[in-house]
C-alpha cells in the first residue's frame, strides 16, 4: 500500500479559493486605528499594492494564480499527502490518518505559498523592496526566498533576541539575499524612540511590525508584507487544501475531520477552507483549529474589535482576541503566539462552522515524538499541535471502534527547532497555565468602535 | 515544462546493483591488521552479521531488497529528480542540468538508504543493538532512525567536540531513541586509555570508531555499523542511481556526465555505479567524483594498501589514501574528511573508469549560494562540491557552445549547516592549501603488506 500520494505538476491549482463569497454573513469592516472609521483602499496604498488590496476584499470565488507564481510553486508543489500507516499502527487505531506535508518547501514551511505571490504582485506594481518583521524567522526566510526569485530587495526586522537565539534562520535569510536588521533598530522612528529610552531592549514582534510598516510607509519604492491573518494571505494558502482534496480522493477517502494548527490563521485556512466549502454542498466534515493553551485566542478569547498589534498602529479588526497587549509566555511554537486571529477564521468559529481546541506544549511534544518515531519526519513545534489533536481523534476512534478518516496539516519540519526537543527530552519544557488574569486585564483595553 | 520528475512507489528499485562482477579485474584482498593476512568471514563475525559479510564479497550482480526495507524507503523514496531550469538560466548555459535530491529523507541525507537495510539484516540475525561513530552527526542520525524503526537500540559514539558544536543532530539522534555518548568515553578500554592520559581530549572520528568497534566486539548482542567505504554500503546506495536512470529517461535524456561528492565513496557509488554499468554496454558517460582540496584522497593520494582508521584496528584495504594518520583541516564538509576511499571507487579510478576533481571550500560555497538562490534549496556543504563541478561543466558547455546533459547528486540539505554559510557570508571561511608536506609524511607510514 502506498505511503505517499503525489500529484503531477500540472495539478498545482490554477486558482486560489476565496472563501469570502461563501462566508456565513457579511464581513465586519476593518477599522482605521487613527480615525476609528472603516479603512479605505487609500489608507492601505502606502503599504500594499492595489492588486493585493483588491484580493483582500474581493468577492470573486476563484482567483487565477499567475503562471510566474505557479512556476515557482513547481520547486516543491504539489506537496505530498502521506498516509500515516506507521502512526496508525503505533496507535492501534481503526482510523485512517493522512497528513499534508508542507515542510518540503525550500524554507521548510507553508509560508512560501503566500510569500511568492505577495512578492510577485509587488514586483508587478513596480515595488523594488519589501519590508517585513519576523520572530523565529519562518516568515522572514520565506519572504527572503520570494524576493530573491524576483530580484527584489528584502528588509527583515528580526526581533533582536531571536537574532541571537535563532541564528540559523537569520543565515537562511542572508543566504537568499535579505538584509536582516535586529529590532529595535536605529533605522526607524519607532526603533529609535524605544532605544533612546531603553538601549538594551531585546525587541518584540509588535515593535518589529511597527518598524517594518514605518519603513514601507516612508519609502515610495517599498511595501510591507504580512505572513498571516489577512484575507489574501489565507487565500494564497488554499493551494494546500485544494491539493489535499484531490490527493485524498485518489486514496478513495474523504476526511471526517480536518485538523491544522492556528496562529494567525493562514495555515489552518489553507488546509481547511476548501473543505469548509464542501459543507455548503452537504459534506459532513469537521474542521478543527488547534492552538496552545498559553495563547488560547480561539478557546478563551472574545470575539470583538481589536488592534492587530500592540502599538495600535495596525488596523482594528473584528476577531477573536486576547487583547492587543496580551503577551503570551515564551513557548517554542513561536508561530502560534499571536493575540488575535484571522478575521475569516474568527467569523467561521463564531458562526459554529469550525471548532477550536487548545493543548499544552508538553502534550504537543509528546505527540511530536510519537510522530517522529513512527513516521520519521521531525515536525515543527507549531505542527505538533495538529499532530496531538489528530492522535486524540484516532485514539477516540479506537475507543469507539469507529473507522474514521483524519486529515491533518504538517505545516513545517522541525529540524531547525531541535532546541525545543532538547528541552522536552530533558524535562525542562514548561507548561503554562491558562493566564486568565492576564487575559482579563488585557481585554479591558479593547478599542471602543461604534459604527 | 516540469521541474520535478517523480516516480511512483512501485518503482522503488526491487534490487540493489552490485558492481563487483562488473569491476575491471579482481578485487584486492582485504587484510587483517593484526595478522597482515587476508580477512576471513570469521574475522568479521564479531562485528557484522553474516548477511552483510556475504554482501560485502558477493559476485551476484543483483541482490533483492527485502520488502521490509522497501516499505521504509517509501517514506521518502523514490526521491525526486529535478531539472535545474533556474540554475541553467542563471548560468546562461545550453546544458541541461539535472539533480537527484537525497535531502528529502527524514535525516536529510542519502545515509538512511544503507542505515535501514543494515539495521534490518542485523535484526534478522538476532542482534539487539547497533554501535557506531559519528562526527557531525549525519550518519549517527540515520542509524538512529533505522534502529528506531526496527525496535533496536542504537549507541552512537559522537566526537566530543561535535556534541558541543553541532548539538542539533545529537538531539535528532536522541529524538529517534539513540544513546549518544561523547567520545572519548569511560565506556570502552579505548576511551578510558585516552582519558587516563588526556582527560580533556575532545575526540576524533578515529577514536570514536575504535570505541564503537570495541563496544560491538565485546558484546554478543551488539554489532557495528559503518556509514560508507564498504562494498555493501556502496551497493545499498545504488537505489539512487537506478531511480535517476529511470527518471532522466522520462525526461528524454541520458547524462553525458554524472557528478557526485566523494568522501568515503558511498554517495558517489550510489549515483554513479548504475551508470558505470552502462559503459560496458557502450554508453559514453563520464563519472566524476568530487572532493575537497584539503583532503584530496583521489587527486593527490596514492593507490596502496592502508589501514581504514588511524588506530590501525580497522582492516587494511587497497585504496586511494593520504595515509591513515593524515588529519585533514577542519572544513565544513565533515562528511568528506576521510583519509581513504571506498576500495571499489578507488579501483575504478585507478583503472581509468572514472575521474576525480578537487575544489576549495570557498569555491564550493560560491556554487552553493548560486544554487540556493536559483533553485531555492540550501545544499549540504558536502553536496556543494558536486554543485561546483556541475556548474563548471555547464559553463564549459556554454563556452564550447555544446548541448550537454549533466546529472549531479544533491546528497543532502544544509539547513543544519548554516554556521558554515555564516562563515562564508562573513568572509571567514578559510581555503586550505593542498597540505603536500603533511601528506608526504603520512604516506611514509603505510603498512607493508606482502601477499
Tell whether A415 lies on the interface with B, counting CB pairs under 8 A: yes
Q: Of the ranges A140-144, A268-272, A397-401, B39-43, which one carries the lowest mean pLDDT score?
A: B39-43
Q: In the predicted model, what is the mean pLDDT of chain B?
A: 95
Tell whether B124 lies on the interface with A, counting CB pairs under 8 A: no
Q: Complex ipTM, two decimals?
A: 0.96
Say whether the peptide bond before residue B108 is cis (omega within 30 degrees of 0): no
Residue with cell 486529515: A407
Task: Decide if B233 contacts B266 (C-beta within 8 A).
Answer: yes
Q: In the predicted model, what is the mean pLDDT of chain A?
A: 95
State the Cα–Cα distance between residues B378 and B412, nearest whole angstrom: 9
Measure B425 CA to nearest chain A CA, in Å. 8
In the numeric block, which cell numbers belong to residue A444? 479591558
- Test A376 with B422 for CB contact under 8 angstroms: no
Res. A387 pLDDT band, cuts 50 70 90:
very high
Task: Decide if A90 contacts A185 (C-beta within 8 A).
Answer: no
Tally of CA atoms within 13 A in the half-sphere of A27 that contains its CB: 22
Classify B352 in phi/psi space as left (phi over 0), alpha (psi -120 to 50) or beta.
left
Three-state SS across A332-368? CCHHHCCCCCCHHHHHHHHCCCCEEEEECHHHHHHHH
pLDDT in tens, A277-288: 999 889 999 999
Res. B311 pLDDT band, cuts 50 70 90:
confident
Task: Decide if B146 contacts B118 (C-beta within 8 A).
Answer: yes
Predicted confidence (pLDDT) at residue A205 exceeds the cutoff of 80: yes
Tell whether B250 lies on the interface with A, counting CB pairs under 8 A: no
pLDDT (0 to 100) of residue B144:
98
Percent of chain A with pLDDT over 70: 100
- A contacts of B148 (beta carbons < 8 Å): 373
Predicted confidence (pLDDT) at residue A434 exceeds the cutoff of 80: no
Tell whether B40 lies on the interface with A, counting CB pairs under 8 A: no
CA dihedral A364, A112, B81, A250 (to 10 degrees): 60
Classify B350 in phi/psi space as left (phi over 0), alpha (psi -120 to 50) or beta.
alpha
Tell whether B362 lies on the interface with A, counting CB pairs under 8 A: no
State the Cα–Cα distance between residues A266 and B191, nearest whole angstrom: 52
Distances (CA, A) of A335 to A273, A278, B87: 20, 28, 32
- Test A6 with B2 for CB contact under 8 angstroms: no
Task: Please tell me whether the overall predicted TM-score, pTM, comes out greater than 0.95 for this model.
Answer: yes
Beta partners for residue A153, in sequence order: A129
Number of residues assigned to chain A: 451
**pLDDT mean over B370-397:** 98
**pLDDT mean over A148-155:** 98
- B contacts of A3 (beta carbons < 8 Å): 9, 71, 74-75
pLDDT (0 to 100) of residue B231:
98
State the Cα–Cα distance between residues B226 and A308, nearest whole angstrom: 54
pLDDT (0 to 100) of residue B360:
95
pLDDT in tens, A368-378: 999 999 999 99
> Mind giving me the DSSP string for B407-419?
EEEE-BB-TT-HH
Phi, psi of B230 (to 5 degrees): -70, 155
Predicted confidence (pLDDT) at residue A385 exceeds the cutoff of 90: yes
Task: Decide if A293 contacts A329 (C-beta within 8 A).
Answer: no
pLDDT (0 to 100) of residue A352:
97
DSSP assignment letter at B152: -
Interface mutation vs chain B, best among A418, A420, A422, A424, most B CBs within 10 Å? A418
Predicted confidence (pLDDT) at residue B433 exceeds the cutoff of 80: no
Cα B141–Cα B386–Cα B113 angle in degrees, nearest 5: 35
State the Cα–Cα distance between residues A12 and A239, nearest whole angstrom: 7
Question: A100, A10, A112, A121: which is closest to A58 by C-alpha?
Answer: A121
Task: Decide if A410 contacts A383 (C-beta within 8 A).
Answer: yes
> Mind giving me the DSSP string for B297-360?
HHHHSEEEEEESSTTS-SPEEEEEES-TT------S-GGG--SS--HHHHHHHHTTSSEEEEE-
Partner residue facing B4 (CB), from A4, A9, A175? A9
Predicted confidence (pLDDT) at residue B250 exceeds the cutoff of 80: yes
Predicted confidence (pLDDT) at residue B303 exceeds the cutoff of 80: yes
- A contacts of B369 (beta carbons < 8 Å): 175
Phi, psi of A94 (to 5 degrees): -80, -5
pLDDT in tens, B69-128: 999 999 999 999 999 999 999 999 999 999 999 999 999 999 999 999 999 999 999 999
- Test A8 with B6 for CB contact under 8 angstroms: yes
**What residues have CB less than 8 Å from B207, skipping those under 6 apart?**
B159, B183, B184, B190, B191, B194, B201, B311
Beta partners for residue B101, in sequence order: B410
Res. A75 pLDDT band, cuts 50 70 90:
very high
Res. B313 pLDDT band, cuts 50 70 90:
confident
pLDDT in tens, B2-37: 999 999 999 999 999 999 999 999 999 999 999 999
pLDDT (0 to 100) of residue B451:
75
In the numeric block, which cell numbers belong to residue B23? 569491476
Beta partners for residue B17, in sequence order: B62
**What residues have CB less than 8 Å from A434, skipping those under 6 apart?**
A293, A294, A296, A300
Res. A289 pLDDT band, cuts 50 70 90:
very high
pLDDT (0 to 100) of residue A281:
87
State the Cα–Cα distance between residues B268 and B349, nearest whole angstrom: 12
Res. A81 pLDDT band, cuts 50 70 90:
very high
pLDDT (0 to 100) of residue A15:
98
Residue with cell 521504509: B72
- B contacts of A168 (beta carbons < 8 Å): 415-416, 418-419
Res. A83 pLDDT band, cuts 50 70 90:
very high
**What residues have CB less than 8 Å from A118, skipping those under 6 apart?**
A52, A130, A143, A146, A225, A233, A236
Q: Of the ranges A12-16, A248-252, A390-394, A416-420, which one carries the lowest mean pLDDT score?
A: A416-420
Predicted confidence (pLDDT) at residue A1 exceeds the cutoff of 80: no
Res. B333 pLDDT band, cuts 50 70 90:
confident
The domains of chain A, with CATH numbers, are: 28-65+111-231 (3.40.50.1100), 76-108+237-443 (3.40.50.1100)
Tell whether B60 lies on the interface with A, counting CB pairs under 8 A: no
Residue in chain A nearest B177 by alpha carbon: A373
Predicted confidence (pLDDT) at residue A451 exceeds the cutoff of 90: no
Amino acid at each position: 500500500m502506498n505511503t505517499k500520494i503525489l500529484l503531477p505538476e500540472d495539478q498545482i491549482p490554477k486558482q486560489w479559493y476565496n472563501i469570502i463569497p461563501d462566508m456565513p454573513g457579511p464581513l465586519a469592516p476593518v477599522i482605521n486605528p487613527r480615525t476609528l472609521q472603516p479603512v479605505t483602499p487609500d489608507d492601505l496604498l502606502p503599504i500594499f499594492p492595489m492588486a493585493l488590496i483588491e484580493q483582500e476584499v474581493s468577492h470573486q470565488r476563484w482567483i487565477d494564480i499567475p503562471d510566474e507564481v505557479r512556476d515557482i510553486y513547481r520547486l516543491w508543489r504539489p506537496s505530498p499527502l502521506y498516509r500515516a500507516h506507521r502512526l496508525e499502527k503505533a496507535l492501534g487505531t481503526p482510523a485512517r490518518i493522512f497528513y499534508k506535508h508542507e515542510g518540503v518547501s525550500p524554507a521548510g514551511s507553508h509560508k512560501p505559498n503566500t510569500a511568492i505571490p505577495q512578492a510577485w504582485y509587488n514586483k508587478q506594481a513596480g515595488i523594488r523592496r519589501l519590508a517585513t518583521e519576523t520572530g523565529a524567522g519562518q516568515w522572514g526566510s520565506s519572504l527572503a526566498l520570494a524576493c530573491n526569485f524576483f530580484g527584489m530587495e528584502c528588509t527583515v526586522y528580526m526581533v533582536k533576541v531571536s537574532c541571537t537565539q535563532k541564528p540559523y534562520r537569520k543565515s537562511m535569510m542572508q543566504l537568499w539575499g535579505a538584509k536582516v536588521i535586529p529590532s529595535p533598530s536605529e533605522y526607524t522612528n519607532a526603533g529609535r524612540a524605544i532605544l533612546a529610552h531603553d538601549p538594551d531592549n531585546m525587541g518584540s514582534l509588535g515593535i518589529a511590525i511597527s518598524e517594518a510598516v514605518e519603513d514601507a510607509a516612508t519609502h515610495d519604492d517599498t511595501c510591507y508584507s504580512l505572513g498571516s491573518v489577512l484575507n489574501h494571505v489565507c487565500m494564497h494558502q488554499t493551494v494546500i487544501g485544494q491539493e489535499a482534496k484531490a490527493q485524498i480522493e485518489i486514496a478513495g477517502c474523504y476526511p471526517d475531520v480536518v485538523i491544522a494548527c492556528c496562529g494567525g490563521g493562514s495555515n489552518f485556512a489553507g488546509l481547511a477552507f476548501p473543505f469548509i466549502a464542501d459543507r455548503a454542498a452537504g459534506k459532513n466534515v469537521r474542521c478543527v483549529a488547534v492552538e496552545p493553551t498559553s495563547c488560547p485566542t480561539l478557546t478563551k478569547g472574545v470575539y470583538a474589535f481589536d488592534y492587530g498589534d500592540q502599538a495600535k498602529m495596525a488596523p482594528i479588526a473584528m476577531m477573536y482576541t486576547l487583547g492587543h497587549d496580551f503577551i503570551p509566555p515564551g513557548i517554542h511554537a513561536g508561530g502560534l503566539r499571536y493575540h488575535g486571529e484571522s478575521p475569516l477564521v474568527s467569523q467561521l468559529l463564531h458562526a459554529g462552522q469550525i471548532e477550536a481546541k487548545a493543548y499544552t506544549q508538553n502534550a504537543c511534544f509528546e505527540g511530536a515524538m510519537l510522530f517522529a518515531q513512527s513516521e520519521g519526519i521531525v515536525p515543527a513545534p507549531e505542527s505538533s499541535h495538529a499532530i496531538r489533536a489528530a492522535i486524540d481523534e484516532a485514539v477516540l476512534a479506537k475507543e469507539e471502534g469507529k473507522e474514521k478518516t483524519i486529515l491533518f496539516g504538517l505545516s513545517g519540519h522541525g529540524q531547525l527547532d531541535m532546541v525545543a526537543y532538547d528541552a522536552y527530552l530533558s524535562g525542562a519544557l514548561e507548561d503554562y497555565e491558562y493566564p486568565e488574569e492576564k487575559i482579563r486585564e488585557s481585554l479591558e483595553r479593547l478599542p471602543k468602535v461604534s459604527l
